[in-house]
Amino acid sequence: MKRVFLAVLKVFGLSLLGLTLVYVIWQPVIPSGIIIEKMAEMVDPGNLPDDKQIVIRYDLSGRGGGMYNLVVNKNGVEVVEGETGQVDLVLFMEAKDFNDLMFSLARGKADESMFIRLTLSKVLRFAGDMSIFELIFKNEEVGG
């Protein structure tokens, strides 16, 4: 009787472990491009001069990642996937970390110290003209 109970317990434990692994491996991933498309809707290019164009590239690796360019000019904001000629600022990050960061921002749980931690730990890396952030935040304040 004891052997049967242990065998059933073992099968149950291994089944539970297998289901957990399947869930973790096959867990759906939100493509980062969807999040970047929604970001484009929130940017107000109102302060940009007519001839100015800014391109921010999100180079996101891993599942759900890709290379997305937020192209901002006086006429609006567009998301272009892949390589573009002009790039003013590049953000490098794992797609999962990027999605987590964006969801934290949406819930109001991200702050400046979180960005500092991500940058110092090299989870989030930048290359290019960092003053673009000021322009985006200035546009946000004017629009809101």
Compute φ and ψ for 74, nearest 5 degrees: -55, -30
Whole-number Å distance between alpha carbons of 98 and 84? 21
Stretches where the chain sits below pLDDT 70 are 21-29, 133-144
The predicted structure's pLDDT at residue 76: 84
Residues 78-110: pLDDT tens digits?
999 988 888 999 999 999 889 888 888 888 887
Only one residue has tokens 């001839």, namely 51
